[in-house]
Structure 1
Amino acid sequence: MSKADDIFISMCSDIIENGTTTEGQKVRPHWEDGTPAYTIKKFGVCNRYDLREEFPALTLRRTALKSAMDEILWIYQKKSNNINDLHSHIWDEWADESGSIGKAYGYQVGQVSHYPDGDYDQMDRVLKDLRENPYSRRIITNLYTFADLSEMNLYPCAYNVIYNVTQDPNEEKPTLNLLLVQRSQDILAANNWNVCQYAILLMMVAQVSDMIPGELVHMISDAHIYDRHVDIIKDLIGREKHPAPTVRLNPEVKNFYDFTTDDLIVEGYEHGPQVKNIPIAI
């Protein structure tokens, strides 16, 4: 059965059974009817997924993998902060009349900095360092720029990616690992979405760097379940589990900027019914 299911079930059970509540506290999020959106939360959750074993998609319900990839391309490949460059509507709530979400996400990836060996934005620097200096401990992207926070329509949630290369003596190629740091996460709405997104990002970057995609380590500072999601979560984690799907990329793509969602190949994805009409706190 899918190991991602087991991790998700364990995490959700721990939050519900051992988490603390924000009920009665001053909170920013609210429901569409204006009611405060309280949570049960755990601080400092860390989950590990090894892509050499299987792709970490939930089977308890379906994760829209191509849509997840589309958003990750929007941020790290297109370096866009405009929802008109995105096929899904998940950012519509935070966009202005022009479609911009402010100086957030892709905008930050695209900011160019000067180095002794040239000028590079964040993603181009990652790709260069993995080609030329793969064992560097400084291969990082960071979207949480304090000087620009006041001009972001939403502060970044998943904001920090650290790439790290290891070499197993029994492997012909080095392994690329990725650590994702997230300040806050709505577990029901976004957990496996983010996990699958960054697993796909790891796979893409590994492929164009001629490496093996290895571990995805996901660190969440504030892992929370909203009050109106608790019963949905309880039902979800009680469902039947299935084997993980096979997920791979078109091996012909050698340039990070050539990937499209058509290059994501998903096979054997068995899953439970979709959870519909999830209330989203804003």
Structure 2
Amino acid sequence: MSYADQVFIDMCRDIIENGCSTEGEKVRPQWEDGTFAYTVKKFGVVNRYDLTKEFPAITLRRTGIKSAFDEILWIWQKKSNNIRDLNSHIWDEWADGDGSIGKAYGYQLGVKHEYKEGMMDQVDRVLYDLENNPYSRRIMTNIYVHQDLHEMALYPCAYSMTFNVTKKPDSPRLTLNAVLNQRSQDVLAANNWNVCQYALLLMMFAQVSGMEAGELLHVIADAHIYDRHIPLVKELISRETHDAPVVRLNPEIRSFYDFTVDDLSVENYVTGPQIKNIPIAV
């Protein structure tokens, strides 16, 4: 099996067997029929993926890696908050009539801030430091901006990235690692989608900085499985598993802003069948 399969299976079993139920408590999410959406959850789940060994895609079911890539480009490269700049429809229910999701996600990454070196947004600051100050312990982003929360259609779930550079004794290149902080995650609907997204982001930043992509550490404050998802998860983690796919970026790309979805290749991705019509609590 892929390493990501093992991580996912162990995490789901732990949540179901040892998690805390919110049934009967005051919760915000509701199902489409208006009933409250309760969860079984674990606090402080930490998963680690080594990208030097394999790409962290599960094979229990197919993760839309190219669609995940398109969304991470929408947020981090286009710095857009408008779904008309996105090829998938996963954000449609949170957008207004003009396609905007408010001052969320890409909007925050595009806001320029004043530094000693000049005005830069958060993405350009990361790229600047990776080039000029790779051993800095201050290379990070944060899109959970309290003053703008009231103008966001959805509070950011994956809200912070911290980048850290190391060097292996036998390697001529530096290694770029990252911590993804997430306040909340719907494990069935979003876990591997987010893992693949931020693995790809790490790969892109490493490539344009002349580094090797290393470890992605994923910290989830509230990792939960919704009550109506539990039977689906139990069936999913009982499935046959396969080897991880081979995922590559176009090695000719040298600027982060030149990447397109066509620069991503996914090979030998063998998976179980997709789970269709997963109910989503909002």
Question: TM-score of the superposition, structure 2-length normalised?
Answer: 1.00
Aligned ranges 1:32-181 → 2 under 5 Å: 32-181=32-181
CA distance in 2 between partners of 1:217 and 1:161 (Å):
10
The one-letter amino acid paired with 2:115 is Y
Tell me the residue number matched to 1:201.
Answer: 201
Q: How far did 1:31 drift? A: 0.4
Q: Any runs of at least 4 consecutive aligned residues in structure 1 with deviations exceeding 3 A, and if so which?
A: none
Mark the runs of 5 or more structure 2 residues left unpaired by the alignment: none
Q: How far did 1:14 drift? A: 0.1
Tell me the residue number matched to 2:267.
Answer: 267
CA distance in 2 between partners of 1:272 and 1:116 (Å):
51
Aligned ranges 1:210-229 → 2 under 5 Å: 210-229=210-229
CA distance in 2 between partners of 1:131 and 1:106 (Å):
23
Mark the runs of 5 or more structure 1 residues left unpaired by the alignment: none
Question: TM-score of the superposition, structure 1-length normalised?
Answer: 1.00
The one-letter amino acid paired with 1:249 is L
Q: Percent identity?
A: 70
The one-letter amino acid paired with 1:214 is G
CA distance in 2 between partners of 1:94 and 1:29 (Å):
14
Q: How far did 1:117 drift? A: 1.1
CA distance in 2 between partners of 1:144 and 1:279 (Å):
26
CA distance in 2 between partners of 1:159 and 1:261 (Å):
23
1:207-258 CA-partner distances (Å, limit 9, x unpaired)? 0000000000000000000000000000000000000000010000000000
The one-letter amino acid paired with 1:75 is I
Tell me the residue number matched to 2:239.
Answer: 239
CA distance in 2 between partners of 1:270 and 1:19 (Å):
31
The one-letter amino acid paired with 1:19 is G
CA distance in 2 between partners of 1:223 and 1:251 (Å):
35
CA distance in 2 between partners of 1:264 and 1:15 (Å):
33
Q: CA RMSD in A?
A: 0.4
